[in-house]
């Protein structure tokens, strides 16, 4: 199968709820009101609770408590609310996943860590609309979950990466493409905005193509996430391209600060999104 075929098969298992499509339609309708958004979201008390937790978390770092969906929409904006709904969908899909083909705790920590790091580095690089980059960082490797569900033997083989053969290279060997290619195809099916999909689709080519800062930032964040999850196997020097850092005006201190922030806050985000199931695996 190719990446698109994996995404098509996965869409039944990892489908967006109707509320996401309704919110997207409201965003595209200039006559929509805050009450319209709140009415759609508040139908699901569980989603409302998790969205408020995320809105009050380190992802947004807003001073003061956000206690209602209407207030969250007013302060954060409708696009950010939509992005948070995507985060919730990812967490829900993960909790319903069950097989031993991949290290699930590693997968989810890397995803959350990458999202937090992407957002932090985006600030350093002077990128606006950083919330969508958190979503891009979080979902960029969602294809791993899809391949693990559909082709567990291949996913197990792709777990055998090392400093000599990075995860993306191993995936190409066994699949002919990467997990991020599957992620991009699924997000396209979900009708996610192209500005979220583009960096996911191209970040592994960041050293050879020039598209925008988003691609470079996501490249750096994925490498920092790899080092965080496997500190005995990978180092910054082995995985991070210094020329990309220079082109973004990002220093080594900035990388360290972003990684420290993500490492500290990942546990809080994991707890919000999945409870004790996502507790960090000791390593």
* pLDDT > 60? residue 13: yes
- Would you put residue 142 in left (φ > 0), alpha (ψ -120 to 50) or beta? alpha
CATH code of the domain in which 48 resides = 1.10.3210.10
283 within some domain? no
Q: How many domains does the chain have?
A: 1
**For the chain, the helix, strand and coil percentages under 3-state DSSP, each to the nearest 5:** 70, 0, 30
Q: Assess contact for 140 and 220: CB atoms under 8 A.
A: no
107 within some domain? yes
153 within some domain? yes
Q: How many CA atoms lie within 13 A of 71 on its CB side?
A: 9
116 within some domain? yes
251 within some domain? yes
pLDDT in tens, 60-118: 677 778 888 888 888 778 877 787 777 777 777 666 666 678 888 888 889 889 999 99
139: which 2 tokens?
Answer: 């979902």
Taking alpha carbons only, the member of 103, 91, 2, 20 closest to residue 50 is 91
Enclosing domain of residue 251: 3-278
123 within some domain? yes
- Would you put residue 126 in left (φ > 0), alpha (ψ -120 to 50) or beta? left
177 within some domain? yes
What is this structure's pTM? 0.81
pLDDT in tens, 170-180: 999 999 999 99
* pLDDT > 80? residue 267: no
**End-to-end Cα, the chain, rounded Å:** 34
């Amino acid at each position: 199968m190719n990446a698109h075929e994996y995404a098509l098969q996965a869409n039944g298992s990892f489908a967006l709820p109707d509320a996401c499509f309704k919110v997207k339609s409201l965003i595209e309708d200039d006559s929509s009101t805050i009450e319209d958004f709140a009415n759609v979201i508040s139908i699901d008390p569980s989603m409302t609770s998790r969205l408020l937790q995320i809105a009050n978390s380190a992802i947004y770092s807003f001073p003061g408590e956000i206690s209602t969906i209407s207030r969250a929409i007013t302060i954060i904006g409708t696009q950010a609310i939509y992005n948070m709904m995507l985060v919730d969908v990812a967490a829900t899909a993960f909790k319903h996943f069950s097989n031993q083909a991949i290290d699930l705790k590693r997968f989810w920590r890397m995803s959350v860590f990458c999202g937090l790091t992407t957002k932090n580095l985006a600030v350093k690089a002077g990128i606006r609309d950083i919330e969508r980059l958190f979503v891009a960082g979080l979902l960029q490797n969602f294809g791993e979950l899809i391949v693990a569900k559909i082709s567990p033997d291949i996913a197990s083989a792709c777990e055998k990466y090392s400093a000599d053969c990075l995860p993306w290279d191993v995936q190409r060997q066994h699949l002919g493409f990467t997990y991020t290619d599957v992620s991009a195809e699924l997000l396209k099916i979900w009708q996610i905005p192209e500005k979220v999909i583009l960096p996911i689709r191209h970040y592994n080519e960041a050293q050879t193509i020039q598209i925008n800062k988003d691609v470079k930032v996501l490249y750096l964040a994925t490498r920092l996430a790899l080092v965080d999850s496997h500190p005995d196997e990978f180092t910054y020097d082995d995985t991070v391209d210094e020329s990309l850092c220079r082109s973004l005006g990002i220093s080594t201190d900035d990388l360290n600060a972003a990684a420290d922030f993500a490492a500290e806050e990942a546990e809080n985000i994991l707890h919000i999104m999945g409870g004790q199931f996502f507790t960090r695996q000791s390593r």
